[in-house]
Copies of this chain bind each other. A is one copy, B any other.
Amino acid sequence: MHEQLIQYINNHSTTPLTESEVELIKNYFLLKKLRKRQYFLQEGEVCKSAAFIVKGAMRQYSVDDKGAEYIIRLSIEDWWAVDRESYTMLTPSIYNIDAWEETDVLTITKADFVQLNSINALNEMARRLDENHASALQRRVNASISLSAEQRYSDLAKTYPEFLERFPLHIIASYLGITPETLSRIRKQVVTKK
C-alpha cells in the first residue's frame, strides 16, 4: 500500500528517502477506502487532509445554485486529490471532492505534514507538485481563453488520454466547460475528419 507512495516520492525528488523516513511516512499517511460517489471533501468544509490516490479515480468540482456540477480537476492513481487553498489556509472550501470509482487513498493532515518537514525528499516533491500544478492551471486558463471547444478537447485527448478511459464523457465535457451534447458532436466531427 505505502510502497507506491514511497516509490512516488523517490521518483519526484533528487534525494531518496532513508529507511527511517520511510517508517515515518508509513506511520503518518493513513489508508482510507472510499466507495463510489463517497465525498472526500464537501463544500463549506475545510480540506483537512491531502489524498494520494493508490487506486481509483476522483474528481473535484463546484456546484451552482441550479445544482449543475463543474469539474475543475480529475485525478487517478499516482495523483493527489486536495483543495490546496483550503488545505493550506484552513479556510472553508468552495469545492467538492468525491470518488468516482472505488478508491484507496493515503491521507495526511496538514498538521502531520508539517511534522514531516524534516524529510527533504517530501518537501522537494511537494514543491515540484505545486509548481506543476500551477503550470497546468496556467495552461488551462490560457486554453480556455484562446482555444475553441474542439481544440480544447483535442488537447485533452493528447495530454491526458487516461481521462477519456476512466471518466464518462459528460464528466469530460464539464471539465472542458461544454455540454455533453456539444462534446458528442465534436467527437463525431473529429472521427469523420480522419
With a 10 A CB-CB cut-off, give which of A84, A133, A141 has the most chain B CB atoms. A141
Cross-chain contact A84 with B134 (CB below 8 angstroms): yes
Q: Which residues of B contact A180 (CB under 8 A)?
A: none
Q: Which residues of B contact A72 (CB under 8 A)?
A: 138, 141-142, 145
Residue ID in chain B nearest A84 by CB atoms: B134
Cross-chain contact B142 with A84 (CB below 8 angstroms): no
Q: Which residues of B contact A140 (CB under 8 A)?
A: 137, 141
Q: Which residues of B contact A84 (CB under 8 A)?
A: 131, 134-135, 138
Q: Which residues of B contact A85 (CB under 8 A)?
A: 131, 134-135, 138
With a 10 A CB-CB cut-off, give which of A72, A137, A138, A177 has the most chain B CB atoms. A138
Copies in the complex: 2
With a 10 A CB-CB cut-off, give which of A70, A94, A146, A177 has the most chain B CB atoms. A146
Contact with B along A82-101 (1 / 0, CB 8 A): 00110011000011000000
Residue from the list B62, B68, B94, B145 in contact with A70, Cβ < 8 A: B145
Q: Which residues of B contact A70 (CB under 8 A)?
A: 142, 145-146
Residue from the list B64, B88, B94, B144 in contact with A144, Cβ < 8 A: B144
Known: A134-B130, A135-B84. A141 touches B141 (CB 8 A): yes
Q: Does A174 contact B (CB under 8 A)?
A: yes
Residue from the list B131, B135, B146, B177 in contact with A145, Cβ < 8 A: B177
Q: Footprint of B on A, CB under 8 Å?
A: 62, 64, 68, 70-72, 84-85, 88-89, 94-95, 130-131, 133-135, 137-138, 140-142, 144-146, 174-177
10 pairs from A and B in contact (CB 8 Å cutoff): A62-B142, A70-B142, A72-B138, A72-B141, A95-B142, A130-B134, A137-B137, A137-B140, A137-B141, A141-B141
